[in-house]
Amino acid sequence: MKSIFLESGQIKLYKRENSQYWQMKIKLPKQKAIRSSTGSKILKQAKKIALKNYSSFEISNKIKKISKNIYKKIHLVETADLNAKEIKFILDEAKKFINFNKRRVKKSNLLEGRTIFNLFFEDSTRTRTSFEVAAKRLGADLINVAVKDSSINKGETLLDTMTTINSMNPDVLIVRHPEEGISKRISNNVDACVINAGDGSHEHPTQALLDALTIKNRFNNFSKLQIAICGDILHSRVARSNIIILSKLGAKINVIGPKQWLPKNINKLPVEVYTDMKKGLRNCDIVMMLRIQKERIVGKIMPNQKTYFNKYGLDYNKLKYAKKNAFVMHPGPMNRGVEIDSKLADDITRSLIQEQVEMGVAIRMACLDILIKNRDNVVSY
């Protein structure tokens, strides 16, 4: 019998005497071996198929083995619903996917047969695509609903659209919408899990979780950290979700921005408030810049971009006010030369912006997996 071993002997490819097809045996430590045909007579193809199966098998086992579920809810609509233990649990679950996402073959069958809908009523690059990548890497079917061409244009209400899609028995609805609180309302009207992918100026929970994971990769311990969140605080759902998540993890938060862009109730939040970058950045380990939310500043006077950059835009000079090796973050999309100096944004020794995007996929894989498993425990199929 002809045989070949891959992945330190954990995969065996072999041909039986009476067959032309390559068979595979996958054996992980302390796990029962899986034996099946690769369905291919060609060794190169058989290797590809075996590696893909190995990848799914390994990640499924890893997750089954380690997980002790702390987060039991089936929706993720507000960071206010999360306690520190739950946040840490989600971050730990996401960590398992970081290396998986660096593999040559990134495919698992963890969510095979599950149906996920992306319902984006506002523009998005990062959030929409990273949910799509996350779902597909876990083997789920993801449908991007073209909401601009949907029956909402014919007068259907948003809740009717959601209950219509809910009747197709989806597992998860991922919703971005300009109306604050809409994800929560939808979650009260459907059986599927609901993830808030940004509701107006209110919340963007997965953004704050991915930001926390990016910070955790560098510092591990949040309790000694001083983090500045700078710019258009008033209209930013990213700022609100980050203030809640990062303070629950133990970090101290400074918010810095022009007076007109600080919320009236800012003193009720666990933050120190500054209107001056020099004072606000003192001793900070992380400087998180925010996009000016032009689409939510309708009918008000916008500051001149150059004047704004001089006062609140982050460049190498202003970064000197923070700690010596402070890191820079921005949720994107960023306006170069307005919120952040272009060279600084691309400086991989200081900027974590690309890592934030990378962590977004891992966080969203974890959230989809956790919520779907939680729902399995309460739904009778």
Which residues of this protein are in contact with ligand CP, per CB under 6 A? 124-127, 198, 204, 207, 331-333
- Minimum Å gap between C-beta 198 and ligand CP is 6
Using alpha carbons, select from 273, 212, 200 the residue that is nearest to residue 242: 212
Do 335 and 291 form a contact (C-beta atoms < 8 A)?
yes
- Minimum Å gap between C-beta 136 and ligand CP is 17
CA–centroid distance for 113 within its chain: 22
- Minimum Å gap between C-beta 207 and ligand CP is 5
Do 372 and 172 form a contact (C-beta atoms < 8 A)?
yes
User: Rounded to whole angstroms, how far apart are CA atoms 36 and 254?
Assistant: 57
Do 193 and 172 form a contact (C-beta atoms < 8 A)?
yes
Closer to ligand CP by CB, 23 or 130: give it. 130
Closer to ligand CP by CB, 114 or 364: give it. 364
Edge-to-edge strands, sheet with 22-26: 2-6, 11-15, 22-26, 34-37
Closer to ligand CP by CB, 198 or 200: give it. 198
Closer to ligand CP by CB, 71 or 131: give it. 131
- Minimum Å gap between C-beta 331 and ligand CP is 4
Closer to ligand CP by CB, 38 or 206: give it. 206
- Minimum Å gap between C-beta 53 and ligand CP is 33
Closer to ligand CP by CB, 51 or 367: give it. 367
Closer to ligand CP by CB, 161 or 207: give it. 207
Helix H segments across the chain?
Answer: 43-66, 84-100, 126-137, 158-166, 182-187, 205-219, 237-248, 277-280, 305-312, 316-319, 342-346, 353-376
- Minimum Å gap between C-beta 357 and ligand CP is 9
Two tokens, residue 186: 């939808």
Element housing 37 (H / E)? strand 34-37
Using alpha carbons, select from 352, 354, 376, 373 the residue that is nearest to residue 89: 373
C-alpha count within 13 angstroms, C-beta hemisphere, residue 15: 13
- Minimum Å gap between C-beta 18 and ligand CP is 55
